[in-house]
Amino acid sequence: MTAFVARLVVKPEKRGEFERLQTELRLLTHAHEPETPVYELIQSREDENTYLCIATFTSQDAFDLHMGTDFHDRLAPAILDCLAEDMDLGFYNIIGEAKRQP
Amino acid sequence: MTAFVARLVVKPEKRGEFERLQTELRLLTHAHEPETPVYELIQSREDENTYLCIATFTSQDAFDLHMGTDFHDRLAPAILDCLAEDMDLGFYNIIGEAKRQP
């Protein structure tokens, strides 16, 4: 089961646009991807231009589905356009069940 | 709204115990803390001794509650005992609603 942490350093003047686009992607992910248990955007308290996007997927298929959605294709280029430097993307293994037990 | 990312470098010989203890803490957190929407443990694919614990809280009170639970008090010392170096703890702001909309 796959997780990723993307470190995103945003151009100061693009922070608002970035947060808007990334939040749209987050809400669409939550609404349409039950096999993506976690998809969060958090902002560093030490550097307001640095964000982490954290996601977990119940399987590789769930990750592939996320990367292939129409809304990801639509939003990802505009999000990357807001960055001051290349995205730093790390992949991780989830320890334990991917989904939160009810 | 508060989020944290804890970077935990574990002694190789303690990885099993660490995962067991941290998973117990994760499951208890999920079971008893509805205002902790995210509490995940992920393992780096580049260094199997490095883990991230990622958590989000709907409020400072929710964070304080987590830190003050009996199970956190019971498990945290044993978890820290598994570490090869000091925990690196970063605090973040959550962008958007803390909780996933139903």
A27/B95 CB distance under 8 A: no
Nearest CA in chain A to B93: A43
Is B101 inside any structural domain? no
Q: Which domain holds residue B12?
A: 2-85
Is A102 inside any structural domain? no
Specify the pLDDT at position B27: 97
**Tokens coding A20:** 């808007």
What lies within 8 Å, CB to CB, of B2 at 6+ separation is B56, B57, B59, B60, B62, B63, B91, B92, B93, B94
Interval A11-36 mean pLDDT: 97
DSSP track, A14-58: GHHHHHHHHHHHHHHHHHH-TT--EEEEEEESS-TTEEEEEEEES
Q: Quick check: A92 and B52 in contact, CB under 8 A?
A: yes
The H or E element that residue A86 is part of is: none
The yes-or-no verdict on residue A21 having pLDDT over 90 is yes
The yes-or-no verdict on residue A83 having pLDDT over 80 is yes
Q: How far apart are CA B38 and CA A101, in angstroms?
A: 12
A40/B93 CB distance under 8 A: no
From A78's Cα to the closest Cα of chain B, the distance in A is: 18
Q: How far apart are CA A15 and CA B78, in angstroms?
A: 40
- Crossing angle (nearest 10°) for helices A70-81 and A15-32: 160
Q: How far apart are CA B67 and CA B73, in angstroms?
A: 8
Residue with tokens 């997780």: A3
Q: How far apart are CA B24 and CA B18, in angstroms?
A: 10
Is A33 inside any structural domain? yes
Total of domains in chain A: 1
ipTM topping 0.85? yes
CATH assignment of the domain containing B40: 3.30.70.100
Report the mean per-residue pLDDT for chain A. 96
Is A85 inside any structural domain? yes
Model confidence band, residue A19 (pLDDT cutoffs 50, 70, 90): very high
Specify the pLDDT at position A28: 97
| Strand B38-44 versus strand B88-94 pairing type | unpaired
Is A47 inside any structural domain? yes
Minimum-distance CB partner of A95 among B3, B23, B100: B23
Q: Quick check: A92 and A4 in contact, CB under 8 A?
A: yes
Specify the pLDDT at position B99: 87
**Tokens coding B40:** 């995940």
Is A69 inside any structural domain? yes
**Tokens coding B26:** 């994760």
**CB proximity under 8 Å: B 33-92 to A:** 38, 40-46, 51-52, 54, 56, 90-92
Query: For chains A and B, what is the number of CB pairs under 8 angstroms?
Result: 85
Is A100 inside any structural domain? no
Specify the pLDDT at position A100: 86
